[in-house]
Each structure stands twice: as structure tokens, then as C-alpha cells.
Structure 1
């Protein structure tokens, strides 16, 4: 075989192979590449949109957290104010109750003192009458009379104590 014929045959085969590839193989490959490029471009666009949406959502979440903290702070402040108010009311009510109890106790003490004074007065009167009866029953001398009066004073001083 001749070298020129071989090269010519190879060249024709190569041209036919290139034509066949360009006609039947190259278009589907180009189509696949273009489709893949479109998909990548769309994916990048979607990723950018998703990143932007994520950024917006993060801002909203951050704002919601700030709002929630503010609401919680307001609720705590309100609860503290209510606590102080309730404690103040309870303290005032307790003071009023203690004043009533003190007044009732003082009234009872005054009644007891009055009752004790009446009893003491009655005992003094009874002792005086008793001594007077003894003095009248006995006609006694001045010394005896003085002795009875001393006993009366002693009895009265014992009753006071």
C-alpha cells in the first residue's frame, strides 16, 4: 500500500468521522451543556434569592426576638407593680387589723380596770363597814380604836397591792 493512499484514506475517514460527530453526536452534547448551564444559572439565581430571603427572615426573626424581649420586660414590670400594690394593700390591711385589735384590747383592759376598781372599792367599803361594825359593837378604848384603825389601814394597803 501506498503511504499517500493510506493518508488519504485516513483523512477521508477522519473527515467523515468529524462530519458524523458534528451531525449526530455534537448537537446532543451541546444541548446537554446548554441545559446544564441553564440549570446552573437558575440554581445560582435561586440560591441568591434564597440567601436574600434568608437575610430578610433573619432580620424579621431578630426583630421578633427584640419585640418578645420587650413584651416580656413589660410583663415583668407590670407583674412587679402588681406585686408591690398587693403587698402594700396587704400591709395596710394588716395595719388596720392590728389597730382594731389594739383598740379592742385597750377597751377590754379598760373594762377590766374599771371592774377591778369597782371590786376594790367594794372590798374597801366592806372592810370599812366591817371595821365600823366592830368599833360600834365594842365600846373600846382609844388604844383599841387606834389598833383597829391600824389594822384597817394595813388591810387596805394589802388590798391595793
Structure 2
């Protein structure tokens, strides 16, 4: 066999192989590569957009957290003011109630003292009358001093009433 004919045959078969590859195999491979490149570019673009959106959302969340902390602080301040106000009102009401109770108790004590004095006075008068009667019965005869006895009983009766 001739070396030139073999090389020529191999060159022709190589050209046919290259032509066949370029006609039927190369276009789907290039299409797949281009499609894959497009998908990668779109994925990178979408990732960049998502990263930008994430950054924006993080800023919004951070601002929302700051706003929420401010609102919570305002609510706490308001609650503390309301607590102080309620405590002050309760303290004032308690003082007023205690004053009323003290006045009521004082008036009850005064009434009780008045009743006790009246009862004591009545008992003293009763005892005085009783003692006077006993003393007069012992020391004074009926005949001698009937007038004195009548005057004493009358005066003691008037004191009793």
C-alpha cells in the first residue's frame, strides 16, 4: 500500500468526519452551551437582584425594629406615667378614706364618751340619793326635820332629771 493514498484516505475521512461533526453534532453542543450560559447569566442576575432585595429588606426590617423599639419605649413610658397617676390617685383616695374613718371614729368616740358621762352621772346621782337617804334615815328623825328631808329629795330629784 502506498503511504500517500493512506494519508489521502485518512485526510478525506477526517474532512468528512469534521464536516459531519460540524453539520450534525456541533450545533446541538453549541446550543446547549449557549443555553447553559444564558441560564447561568440569568441565575447570576437573579441572584444579584435577590441580594439587592435582601439588602433592602434588611434595611426595612432594621427600620421596623427601631420603630418597634421606639413604640415599645413610648408604651412603657405611658404605662409608667399611668401607673404613677393611678398610685397617686389611690394614695389620695386612701388618705381621704382614712380621714373619713378617723372623723367617724372620733365622732363615735365622742358619742360613746357622752353616753358614758350620762350613765356615770345617772349612777352618781342614784348613788348620792341612795346614800343621802340612808344617812338621813340614820341620823335624822322623821319628826324633827321633815322639811329638810323634803327639800333634799326635791333638789336631788331635779338633778336626776
Q: TM-score normalised by the shorter chain: which range applies?
A: 0.7 to 0.9
Per-residue deviation, 1:158: 24
Structure 2 Cα separation of the partners of residues 16 and 143 of structure 1 = 181
Structure 2: where are the runs of 5+ without partners? none
String of CA shifts for 1:119-141, please: whole Å, max 9, x gaps. 22222223333333344434469
Larger mean CA deviation between 40-49 and 146-155 belongs to 146-155
Distance 1:8 1:111, change over 3 A: same
String of CA shifts for 1:86-141, please: whole Å, max 9, x gaps. 22222222221111111111101111111111222222223333333344434469
Larger mean CA deviation between 11-20 and 84-93 belongs to 84-93
Larger mean CA deviation between 37-46 and 15-24 belongs to 15-24
Give 2:35's aligned residue.
35
Larger mean CA deviation between 126-135 and 59-68 belongs to 126-135
Structure 1: where are the runs of 5+ without partners? none
Structure 1 Cα separation of the partners of residues 7 and 143 of structure 2 = 181
Structure 1 Cα separation of the partners of residues 144 and 55 of structure 2 = 119
RCO comparison, higher one (Cα < 8 Å, 6+): 2
String of CA shifts for 1:61-91, please: whole Å, max 9, x gaps. 1211221222222222222222222222222
SS of aligned partner of 2:11: helix
SS of aligned partner of 1:138: helix
Aligned residues: 161
Structure 2 Cα separation of the partners of residues 137 and 63 of structure 1 = 108
Distance 1:124 1:152, change over 3 A: farther
SS of aligned partner of 2:140: coil
String of CA shifts for 1:14-61, please: whole Å, max 9, x gaps. 112112222222222222211211111111111000000011111111
Distance 1:36 1:129, change over 3 A: same
Structure 2 Cα separation of the partners of residues 157 and 15 of structure 1 = 161
RMSD of aligned Cα (Å): 6.1
